[in-house]
Amino acid sequence: MSFLQNSEKQIIVQVAIDNPINKLFDYCWNESVLQTKPKRGQIVAISFGRKDCVGVVMSVSDHTEHDLDKLKAVQEIAPISPLSDDVLEMAEFAAHYYQRTIGEVLLPSIPKLWRQKNKWSLLSKEKRQKKKELAPSKKSPKDISLNTQQQTIVNELVAKTNNQEYSCNLLQGVTGSGKTLTYLRWLEKVLETPNSQVLIMVPEINLTPQMEQAIQEAFPDKKVDVLHSGLTDRSRADHWVSAHSGNARIILGTRMAIAASMPNLKAIVVDEEHDLSYKQQEGVRYSARDLAIWRAKKLGIPVLLVSATPSLETWFHAKESRYQKLSLAHRAAKDSEPPIIELVDMNHDRKVNPKNDHGFSAYLLDHLKKNLELGLQSLIYINRRGYSPVISCEACGWISDCQKCSAHMVLHKISDHKKNLCCHHCGLIKQVPKVCPDCGNADLQPVGKGTQKVEEFLVATFPQAKILRIDADTTRKKGSADNLFGAVHDGDADIIVGTQMITKGHDYKAVSLVGVIDADASLFSQDYRASERLFAQLMQVAGRAGRSEKTGQSRVLIQTRYPNATPYTYLKTGDVDGFLNELKDERQLVGLPPFSYQALVHAEHRTLLAAMDMLREAAQYSRNDANWPSAVLLSDVIPRAMVKVSGKERAQVLIESGNRQSLQIAIQIMQHYLTELNTKRKGVGWHIERDPIMI
């Protein structure tokens, strides 16, 4: 390929743009106009096609393969320093690993307002106005008192930090063992180094207020900034640039925070590392936990993965000594005992009470009543929001299916006199029909129960109790989640009803009883990870009970029709390692992760046939390719478990290999043929998901 050499003064920059075209784009750099030399990582304003947009300079050169007269010039530079080099390198790695363009990875990680040239002057001015707010607090740090076991772990982590080299560590501790206090004391030592920064990641937005308060109390003289999608565009832009400039010493955030530019990053903590929320499920389907490990290794700094119920992959790496395991085996509070976990056999309960449609066993109701009399809090966990999962006609069997998805429409109670039907997958909302659309029968009945129905039953059964419901519906408005969790922590609730968002990381001081309803719904699934997720969820929710001495002996009651199922057997004894060891043996026997590597190829179209045909053709071309690795397996093309979503029919094919490099080659080959086929098979959408968490 011939290159046109430029004059000495001519500078060409290669710019990444949020675009599916897998290349960098050349632009001229006019040093006299821009008043500076180009640098890798600069955010710049450019014209692309007929639109103005923002890109990132990835490299600088003195030549181009294009006609110089046709090259456009960089228009303007954002008034901030270039992105840190480790962020650029991580984006390059993620683009290769997850098979997306560098622009698709890098640009969405920059806050929206910094991707708008017309906002730059405003952001720059407001940044100067806020300098006074950055002054450190005069408060004394809250004393972090540790027990011997916690202090031993801190000493080990500090030694690793002093060595100034990469290490990946798993902090596995029973719920209530003080994992947060342990790593905060470690970070206290890390932050003694001038200008050092630390990143703490949590899986859910609603965990950030409680965590931010704990951090501020421990480090009142350090600037803390929060990064998550619930912030306003204004706040996110300011917090991001505070981290980027080094002003923020502690960055607390959800998965998006892993891509933040932090020039002095010295340690990373991934709390609740097992949580599925760390895996992005749209756009670039990255794992923030895995990128955190990659970034730490690249920087040569320690990363700490924290969980009471680690993912099998993380636990296995620790078992194989790839990670170091640090254990907290006992609860931190001296008088805090682990809860008694009981399995309530609903087969027996139904014999006694066959007309039970509210889902509560007599045994659970009796303990709820006793707990209320003692003035202690109870938590009822059911991982299904809404009133009922479906409504049905008893005459002809009609059920409330979604017209756009292979799913039922869920009955939601809007008020005492109004209900509607909502699809939780496409968002379609409809009025509840007055009569059956098929046969005209007026007797339509709700089937099953969700958080709203459970709440309604408890209000009727315990009219004097303060009952609080926490789910995606009650926490939709800004600030509502903070208010609801604040009410729980302040003791303004007797019974809390909620989905999995109430189970993660919250330190409830007065919860003495946990009841679990309808856990069996997750037992039987085509997804091989279902039992692992169920076990983790139930261990987490069980850990919310008895976290302080005032609750006395706490109790967890899990209602089930299958008391001998493997997850329940280990739950009863709280044996996390035993469960994961059995799971490891099962996976090894059939060659599933962590003993193999996977990628899932998705396709969607208005018709299932078109989606499946495209995948079949791409699979056939790939198998016949001379470079296709012989040890890589391609499954049959099949419909997705939920075939239809938002009017699109979906299919998939699974790629598996015992070797990560071979899988990468196979993905690249499949990507090549899918791209070629897409030009003749119009309307078929597709993407490749590396390391899928749901199949």
Q: Which residues of 665-686 are buried (b: 16+ CB within 10 A; e: fewer)?
A: bbbebbbebbeebbeebeebeb
Confidence of residue 260 (pLDDT cuts 50, 70, 90): very high
Of the listed ranges 139-148, 573-582, 611-620, the one predicted with least confidence? 139-148
Please give the Cα distance from 297 to 165 (Å, whole number): 8
Share of the chain above pLDDT 90, in %: 70
Looking at residue 137, its pLDDT comes to 57
**Nearest C-alpha neighbor of 684 from the set 601, 623, 625, 600:** 601
**Nearest C-alpha neighbor of 303 from the set 222, 199, 393:** 199
Write the CB contacts of 381 (distance below 8 Å, at least 6 apart in sequence): 498, 499, 500, 502, 503, 514, 515, 516, 517, 541
Give tens-digit pLDDT for 293-328: 999 999 999 999 999 999 999 999 999 999 999 999
Q: Strand 511-516 relative to strand 555-560: parallel, antiparallel, unpaired? A: parallel
pLDDT at 127 over 60: no
Looking at residue 126, its pLDDT comes to 54
The secondary structure of 26-72 as a DSSP string is EEEE-HHHH-S---TT-EEEEEETTEEEEEEEEEEESEESS-GGG--
Looking at residue 123, its pLDDT comes to 85
The total of other beta-carbon atoms located within 10 Å of residue 208's CB is 22
Share of the chain above pLDDT 70, in %: 95
Sheet with 302-307: list strands edge to edge.
Answer: 224-227, 250-253, 197-201, 265-271, 302-307, 167-173, 324-328
Give tens-digit pLDDT for 459-481: 999 999 999 999 988 888 878 88
Write the CB contacts of 624 (distance below 8 Å, at least 6 apart in sequence): none
Section 238-248 average pLDDT: 95
Q: Are 443 and 388 in contact (CB under 8 A)?
A: no
Please give the Cα distance from 515 to 462 (Å, whole number): 16
Looking at residue 140, its pLDDT comes to 66
Looking at residue 91, its pLDDT comes to 96
**Nearest C-alpha neighbor of 18 from the set 119, 125, 91:** 91
Helix intervals (H) in 279-361: 288-299, 312-319, 346-352
Looking at residue 242, its pLDDT comes to 95
Q: How far is CA 191 from the centre of its chain?
A: 27
Q: Which residue's entry shows tokens 């960098």? A: 24
Sheet with 418-422: list strands edge to edge.
Answer: 410-415, 418-422, 429-431
Write the CB contacts of 515 (distance below 8 Å, at least 6 apart in sequence): 360, 364, 367, 368, 378, 379, 380, 381, 556, 557, 559
Q: Give me the residues paired with residue 323 across strands.
A: none
Distances from the Cα of 242 to the Cαs of 61, 237, 245, 485, in angstroms? 31, 9, 5, 28
Section 582-599 average pLDDT: 95
Looking at residue 139, its pLDDT comes to 66
Structure tokens at 348: 């027996």
Query: What is residue 561's DSSP assignment?
Result: S
Q: How far is CA 281 from the centre of its chain?
A: 9
pLDDT at 620 over 90: yes
pLDDT at 128 over 60: no
Sign, CA dihedral 206-207-208-212, equals: positive
Please give the Cα distance from 242 to 320 (Å, whole number): 39
Question: What is the average pLDDT value for the chain, to the nearest integer?
Answer: 90
Give tens-digit pLDDT for 131-179: 434 445 556 676 778 889 999 999 999 998 888 899 999 999 988 889 9
Sign, CA dihedral 89-90-93-94, equals: negative
Give the type of residue at 193: T
Please give the Cα distance from 185 to 202 (Å, whole number): 18
Looking at residue 133, its pLDDT comes to 43
Please give the Cα distance from 222 to 200 (Å, whole number): 14
Burial class (CB in 10 A: 0-12, 13-18, 19+), 406: middle
Please give the Cα distance from 669 to 37 (Å, whole number): 39
Q: What is the pTM of this model?
A: 0.91
Looking at residue 1, its pLDDT comes to 37
Of the listed ranges 76-85, 127-136, 194-203, 656-665, the one predicted with least confidence? 127-136
Write the CB contacts of 193 (distance below 8 Å, at least 6 apart in sequence): 266
